[in-house]
Each structure stands twice: as C-alpha cells, then as structure tokens.
Amino acid sequence: MSVHIFGNTASTSIASYGLRQSAMRSNLGSDVTHFVLNDFYVDNGLTSLPTATEAVNLLKDTGSTQNRRKVKATQDSIKQQRESASVNAIDEARKLVLREAQIDTFSDEIDCLTTRKPLAKSSSIASLTPFLDKENMLRIGGRIQNSNVPDIEKHPILLSGRHHIALLIVRHYHELSHHQGRHITEGSIRSAGFWITGLKSLVSSVISKCVKCRILRGSLCTQKMAMLPPDRLEPGPPFTNVGVDCFGPWEVLPRRTRGGHANSKRWATMFTCLTTRAVHVEVIEELSSSSFIMALKRFTAIRGPVSHFRSDRGTNFVGSIKELGIQAINVEDGRMKDFLRNQGTTWQFNPPHASHMGGVWERVIGITRRILDSLLMEASRNKLTHEMLVTFLAEASAIVNSRPLVPLTTDPENPMPLSPSLLLTQKPQQIIKDQRIIDSKICTINSGNVYKYLQINFGIDGKMNTYKLSKHNVNGPNHRKTLSGRCCSDKRQAIC
C-alpha cells in the first residue's frame, strides 16, 4: 500500500488527488479518465468567492440543480439554471451558508447544545450564552428576550471572525455603507442581525485593504520646500536686505468740510528686514508708484540705504523701480546687469501668483493686522484720523519688533530674549538702571559690548538659531567660543 503525505494541504487538494487516483485505477473508460485528469478539479466554492452574494447564489444554483435529478446538456436546461430563483430559495441558501460557517467553527459548541450539555469553560463563546433556534441556527442569548424589539436584534446570528463567510459579510455591508469608517460599518452589521467575534479587528482589516478607502482617505501630496535664497541667510546690518509689501486699507477722517467729514483711505507699506526680521511701517495715501516712492524715501532716510529689495509683482512696485532708476534683477541684458551693479541697489520680483515666496513679510503683516484690530477695539473708535492710524501702526510695529527670535529657555543665566528691537535700539524693552544684566563674573564680556557683539555676530549666532542650523557648534555641541577666545558652556553664552 502506497502512502501519500499531504501535510497542511487544503481538503480540496486531497479530494482532487483522491479522484485522480480512483480514475487511474478504475475501469471507467479512457474518456472518463482523461476528463478527470485534465478537465476536472475540486474547489471550495465558499472560500473562493469574493462576495457573500455570489456564495449564496452558488448554493442556491447547486440546490436547484440537485432537485432536477438529471442535468440535460441542452440549451434549454442551461437557461433554466440561469433563471432567478424565488425569494424563499435565496433565503434557504443564505441559511445554509450560515449554518455551514457555524459548523466549521463552532462544531463542539453545537454538539453540546444539541445534546443539552453545558459548554466547556474554555469555549470562546461561553459568555455569550448561545442557543440553537428552530432552524438549528446558532444565536446569541441574553436577558432581553421579553422585549418588543425584533428577534434579529435580541438574538443575532453568531459567526466567527476567522471564517471566510464573516469576511464576505463585512465586505458586503462595508460596500452598502459606501465605504464609511469602522463605526458605521459595525453598526450596519449589527443592525442586519449578525454577531461576529473579533468584529472590530476584522472591520479594520477590511478597511485597511479596501482600494476605494485608500483612495478616499489617502494622504495628500506635500511639496518639498525649496532652498532659502542667499539674502535670507547672509549676516549683515539691519535692513540691508528688505522685503516689501502693502496692506490695508483703512478709512480715515483727514479734515472737516462744510458738508461734513471728507472720508479717505490709507494703506500701509511693510518693510521687513530679511536678516533680523525687524519691521518698519510707512503710511501711504494711495496705491500708486508716486505714493510708494515717497514712503520708500522716508524709509531709506531713517534706516539707511538698502542693498537688495524683494517683493511681489505689484503695479506700484513695478512702476516705482522705473521712476527711481532701479531695475529688476531678473533682466537678462548684460549691460543692464552692469548698470545695476554700479547703482548698488537691486530689486527682485517673485514669480507671478507665488505669494508663498514672500512668507517672511506675509507672516508679519498678519501679526500686525491682529495687533491693530486689538488696538482699534480697545480705542472704541469707529472713525480714525490720520494721526491715530500712524500712531496705532507705530505701536503695532513696536510690538512686532519685540517678539523673540529664538525659543525662550528656562536657564536663569539667559534672562534677556533676543528680539529685533534689541538689535535696532541696543536696549531692552524695559530700561533698567543697572545695565549689567548678569554678574560680570559669569559673563566673559562686559555689558557695554553686549549689544555691539549682538550686532556683529547676530548672523553667526541668532540667525543660525532662527533657522535651526546650529545643531553642532565649531567646538562641539556643548561648547562655543567667547570674544576672548575661551570656551564656555551653553549656559554661559557670550550674550549673557
């Protein structure tokens, strides 16, 4: 006797092997043997179908075929097999599928309930108090049998989450709920009268593998940010590289007339230092090149000459560079570039519809707007004068310039936050009599040179901290050099 070892092979493979061996050893004829060996195979229909509807239809068609006793290989019999069955036939096929799934997973429990024996304590469904109904269907027990709710809610059908039928049911109701989340899918399954063990993990697994859910809930693509331009990273004096933008308007009352008040509008021009992040605000009467040129002259008279301007393609900016004799840096003519180099001032425009490239000044404009709204609310004035607007914008710019440039530390030896106003005015917001912020024994430079040191070395120290580029210093992660050339720890920096 020959022995064939299958190991963990499925039962369908075992059945196919047995039929082929029987066909080869029996005297059924060459045609039968050829058919069994080449054109016949055994498959588990329930586990090979993708949906629960196809599984029910398979059993329904198989049952209707068996009831005909004979299958005639004619076209009429094929049409009869494809005809839709009645509602009762589909319901019987559905019950048959569910009973087979329960027998495959809860055979020991069904035997105990059939013989009226108590379930084993090791049973996974013993706490659910299951019972068999009149149709030998395993259902959930409970204490609400006397309620008026439907039977499918009082005693749902019990299924194992490890069976393939449970997977088909979850897929079916997940599609009926139009690919909603786990909570809605579980509710649809419970409302249909099914109690599936391990339902949450099974539903989560189905949703994670669902192609439509991956498309609907897929993460959006994120664009990688480009490198910062050199004028944003180079150290230098304040307002050497400047970003410009306009915002507003506000209605003001400049004067009284015989007919009443003459209303007019005002705008503001924001000059942002790309190195120190300091701001300077100038009020303009109209969005025109001439008005902006006067604001630009006031700005340069106070803050000094500017080496590089950057702005969007506003019409007032484009017109003003022509009147001032400043040309855009993106002009490709070689002679024009030589002329710009001799002038010492360049103006670079951002690409059209690229406001994200001006995030430096757009951010401070938003902060200034919020501060100005708060000031106007505290003033409780519906009408502004030109003088009030200029004062409010000056206060707002002072608050913006006092913001910390680097995250505040809890180190008591570094009490002074680094801000743009500290670099511009060389004094803190609250002036104190003793200019020595910390004991001179701790600090390696005297208090008179602190602000000068900040101005000179801001691009090396504060600027790098602003962009989080100083992960490791020259002398290691925990040390840095002072003005005297000696090393000290981070707790005793030179700006202390």
Looking at domain 75-217, its CATH architecture is Orthogonal Bundle (1.10)
pLDDT band at 393; cut points 50, 70, 90: very high
d(CA 349, CA 209): 48
**Taking residues 114-126, what's their average pLDDT?**
90
Q: Return the minimum-mean-pLDDT range out of 399-408, 422-431, 440-449.
A: 440-449
**Taking residues 308-335, what's their average pLDDT?**
59
CB of 130 closer than 8 Å to CB of 138: yes
Residue ranges of domains in the chain: 75-217, 237-400, 419-496
pLDDT band at 171; cut points 50, 70, 90: very high
The pLDDT of residue 203 is: 95
pLDDT band at 213; cut points 50, 70, 90: very high
Q: What are phi and psi of 210, to 5 degrees?
A: -75, 130
Sign of CA dihedral 389, 393, 399, 402: negative
Q: Is residue 464 over pLDDT 60?
A: no
The pLDDT of residue 318 is: 58
The pLDDT of residue 349 is: 81
Candidates 3.30.460.10, 3.30.420.10, 3.40.50.720, 3.30.499.10; correct CATH number of 237-400?
3.30.420.10
CB of 274 closer than 8 Å to CB of 208: no
Q: Which helix (H) or strand (E) holds 181?
A: none
Q: Is residue 160 over pLDDT 60?
A: yes
Structure tokens of 150? 């439907």
Structure tokens of 160? 């194992």
Higher-pLDDT residue of 178, 410: 178
d(CA 138, CA 215): 38
The pLDDT of residue 354 is: 77
Q: What are phi and psi of 255, to 5 degrees?
A: -160, 165
d(CA 190, CA 188): 6
Other C-beta atoms within 10 Å of 154: how many?
A: 18
The pLDDT of residue 291 is: 83
Q: Return the minimum-mean-pLDDT range out of 143-152, 316-325, 349-358.
A: 316-325
Q: Is residue 359 over pLDDT 90?
A: no
Higher-pLDDT residue of 217, 34: 217
Coil, strand, or helix at residue 254? strand
**Taking residues 52-70, what's their average pLDDT?**
63
pTM: 0.50
The pLDDT of residue 423 is: 87
